[in-house]
Amino acid sequence: MEQKKQAVKSFYENTHTYLGQDYNIRIRSEIVTAFLADYDTFDSVLDMPCGNGMISLQNASKFNALTLVDFSKNMIKETKANAQKLMVENIQTICSDIFQTNFSDNAFDLVISLGIFAHIENPQRLIDELIRITKPGGLLIIQNTASDHFYGKLIHFYQRIKRKAGKSTYTLNKIPRKWLEKEFLKETKLLNRYDYNQSFLGFSKLFSNEKKYTLTKKLFGDAMNNKNRWLGSDTIYLFQKN
């Protein structure tokens, strides 16, 4: 477990590699913004893991207080720089393991957690933690890549090939869509979702980020008109805690 954790941390410390996938960050940001469009303000918001912070920072006008957590020092550095560029001041940044933050129960009325379930050592513990720190009636925006989707299975097959070739250092978690939904729905209700694919499986270098963004949006539409959902292995959920 510790070896996998360090491999994940090493990948995300290389911000150039992660942020080079910014077409996906752009799509996630647009979906989060669309999910929050009908809400006025939130008193306390958590983005964990926050990456470079842009997804939540771009919505900061709706947040009275924003806490951004990531275990990558370089990502926190990027987050602080982006907050300064966007002139967002109502933030707190924390460089920490997700399970060592010690947030109190019912601490936040909005929790954003994207791009983590495939990498975390204990997905069930993460679900329990995210629900624990969300206020009753509060919102959770969650992303998962479904391992039981045909494209998700292809992703895991591709990862096995990369590991055998020595190009990957750890195994992605297999998180079935039905399992994740069942666990969240024990204590929340589903308000919205957006299904899409974020992976070009070895062909990524053939397309610019702008082209990948255009192709993805053309195939799957936006939050108001999510097309071809059956093709999407990735889902961004909007849950509300009971």
Check whether 42 has a pLDDT greater than 90: yes
CA–CA separation, 178 vs 162, rounded Å?
Answer: 27
What's this model's pTM, rounded to 2 decimal places? 0.87
Tell me the residue range of the domain where 228 lies: 2-241
pLDDT at 16: 46
Check whether 48 has a pLDDT greater than 70: yes
10 Å CB burial of residue 239 (0-12, 13-18, 19+) is: buried
Range with lowest mean pLDDT among 32-36, 123-127, 206-210: 206-210
My answer on whether omega of the bond before 136 falls inside 30° of 0, hence cis, is no
The CATH number of whichever domain residue 65 belongs to comes to: 3.40.50.150
CA–CA separation, 86 vs 88, rounded Å?
Answer: 5
pLDDT at 8: 43
pLDDT at 221: 96
pLDDT band (50, 70, 90) for residue 108: very high
Q: How many domains does the chain have?
A: 1
pLDDT at 200: 65
3-31 tens-digit pLDDT: 544 544 454 444 444 444 588 888 999 99
| C-alpha angle 42-111-179 in degrees, rounded to nearest 5 | 145
* Overall average pLDDT of the 177-200 stretch: 93
- Cβ within 8 Å of residue 3, ≥6 positions away: 170
pLDDT at 179: 95
For residue 128, what is the DSSP state? Answer: H
